[in-house]
């Protein structure tokens, strides 16, 4: 059976970008695959972060994921830093990671450009990501488009490590893209991302959702209510495709092109559909908030299970790489 692994940083909220781009896919995959999902706090510390908020954000992300439909009966959910082997395998993979490849990663270049002093962790970030996946010998990785380059590097590291130490040991992880591989933020310009402040959180209230949608960017060429619009270049139209029925999507496009509707009419329908789609998630989140021990229990048993798998993989890796005290190398000394 294929094993699915994916991760999400606790640095931001669960918003409709990472929800549609990845998490909704995770929820769907649970019925077909063995799934392991991680809140990757070790990745979140590669950029300046609020030390006092990290644990709370990690908990909040777990709560959001469970509310969004991650089912602990079927999937394993855990916090990355609770399984020490992630960092250990990252080190073991770093010996086959070409510096040039790491420096070429677009996310590294973007993030490094914003820092005065670039931490080595930012450069090594994709090695840790490869370790996350390979530690569980996972071969399917549901992600959004922005992670494809990192995943390509993970495949490269698996190939290089296998070639040097043990052919066929690690499977080369394959990406699984959802239909919403890149959700654009409310600015209509950049990828939806908490750090850019262009998000709608999946736990936001109906009022908050409407207040955010009202000023959101539409077709920039549509200056007045009477001008016909072009839905193909309108982000609100694109969002309709994920929240509205096919008939509604068609209607919206027609009303936009004929100036039958103003942008606010179009946004009102989107808001209503979005609010309805997110309502059950908000309800489950409220329920979990009243029972935080349930979230803690899921994370504790998830970490326990992952430690067992991780220890096994690292035991083999240690032996294959010839470390003192490991397997055959131990018997030789």
Residues catalogued as catalytic:
111, 191, 194
The SS3 of residue 39 is strand
DSSP annotation of 192 reads P
Contacts of 18 (CB under 8 A, 6+ apart): 8, 12, 144, 192
Identified binder of ligand TYM from the candidate list 137, 160, 166, 182, rule CB under 6 A: 182
Shortest distance (Å) from residue 171 CB to ligand TYM: 14
Report how many residues bind ligand TYM under the rule CB under 6 A.
26
- Chain-centroid distance of CA 233 in Å reads 25
Identified binder of ligand TYM from the candidate list 129, 255, 281, 320, rule CB under 6 A: 129
Shortest distance (Å) from residue 231 CB to ligand TYM: 19
By CB under 6 A, tell whether 201 contacts ligand TYM.
no
Identified binder of ligand TYM from the candidate list 90, 92, 143, 236, rule CB under 6 A: 143
Alpha-carbon distance of 59 to 14, in angstroms, equals: 12
Alpha-carbon distance of 146 to 180, in angstroms, equals: 12
Shortest distance (Å) from residue 214 CB to ligand TYM: 20
- Listed ranges 48-56, 116-124, 181-189, 285-293: which one lies at the site for ligand TYM (CB under 6 A): 181-189
Footprint (CB under 6 A) of ligand TYM, residues 36-95: 40, 43
Nearest Cα residue to 285 out of 17, 74, 61: 61
Which residues lie across from 75 on neighbouring strands? Answer: 35
By CB under 6 A, tell whether 235 contacts ligand TYM.
no
Shortest distance (Å) from residue 222 CB to ligand TYM: 24
Residue 38, φ and ψ in degrees, nearest 5: -125, 140
By CB under 6 A, tell whether 314 contacts ligand TYM.
no
Shortest distance (Å) from residue 193 CB to ligand TYM: 6
| Cβ(30)–Cβ(75) below 8 Å | yes
Shortest distance (Å) from residue 43 CB to ligand TYM: 5
Nearer to ligand TYM, 30 or 193 (CB): 193
- Listed ranges 62-70, 187-195, 281-289, 300-308: which one lies at the site for ligand TYM (CB under 6 A): 187-195
Nearest Cα residue to 37 out of 83, 105, 90: 83
Alpha-carbon distance of 107 to 133, in angstroms, equals: 19
- Listed ranges 13-21, 163-171, 224-232, 305-313: which one lies at the site for ligand TYM (CB under 6 A): 13-21
Give buried/exposed letters for 127-148 (b at 16+ CB in 10 A, else e).
bbbbbbbbbbbbbbbbbbebbe
Nearer to ligand TYM, 181 or 251 (CB): 181
Give buried/exposed letters for 83-112 (b at 16+ CB in 10 A, else e).
bebbebbbebbbebbeeebbeebeebeebe
Which residues contact ligand TYM (rule: CB under 6 A)?
5-9, 17-18, 21-22, 40, 43, 129, 132-133, 141, 143-144, 146-147, 180-183, 191-193
């Amino acid at each position: 059976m294929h094993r699915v692994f994916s991760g999400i940083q606790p640095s931001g909220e669960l918003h409709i970008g990472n929800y549609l781009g990845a998490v909704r896919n995770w929820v769907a995959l649970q019925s077909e695959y063995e799934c392991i999902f991680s809140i990757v706090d070790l990745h979140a510390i590669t950029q300046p972060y609020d030390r006092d908020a990290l644990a709370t954000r990690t908990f909040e992300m777990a709560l959001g994921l469970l509310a969004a439909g991650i089912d602990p009966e079927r999937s394993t959910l855990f916090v990355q830093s609770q399984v020490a082997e992630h960092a250990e395998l990252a080190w073991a993979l770093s010996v086959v990671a070409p510096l040039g490849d790491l420096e070429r990663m677009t996310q590294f270049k973007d993030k490094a450009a914003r820092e005065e002093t670039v931490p080595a962790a930012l450069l090594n970030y994709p090695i840790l990501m490869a370790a996350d996946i390979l530690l569980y010998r996972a071969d399917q990785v549901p992600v959004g488009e922005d992670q494809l380059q990192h995943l390509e590097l993970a495949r490269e590291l698996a190939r290089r490590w296998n070639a040097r130490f043990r052919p066929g040991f690690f499977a080369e992880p394959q990406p699984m893209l959802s239909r919403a591989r890149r959700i654009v933020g409310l600015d209509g310009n950049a990828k939806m991302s908490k750090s850019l402040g262009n998000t709608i959180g999946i736990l936001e209230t109906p009022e908050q959702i409407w207040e955010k949608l009202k000023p959101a960017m539409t077709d920039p060429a549509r200056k007045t209510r009477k001008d016909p619009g072009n839905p193909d270049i309108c982000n609100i139209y694109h969002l309709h495709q994920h929240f509205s029925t096919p008939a509604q999507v068609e209607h919206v496009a027609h009303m936009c092109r004929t100036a039958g509707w103003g942008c606010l009419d179009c946004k009102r329908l989107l808001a209503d559909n979005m609010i309805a789609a997110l309502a059950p998630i908000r309800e489950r989140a409220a329920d979990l908030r009243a029972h935080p021990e349930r979230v803690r229990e899921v994370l504790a048993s998830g970490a326990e299970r992952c430690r067992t798998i991780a220890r096994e993989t690292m035991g083999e890796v240690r032996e294959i790489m010839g470390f003192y005290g490991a397997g055959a190398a131990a018997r030789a000394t």
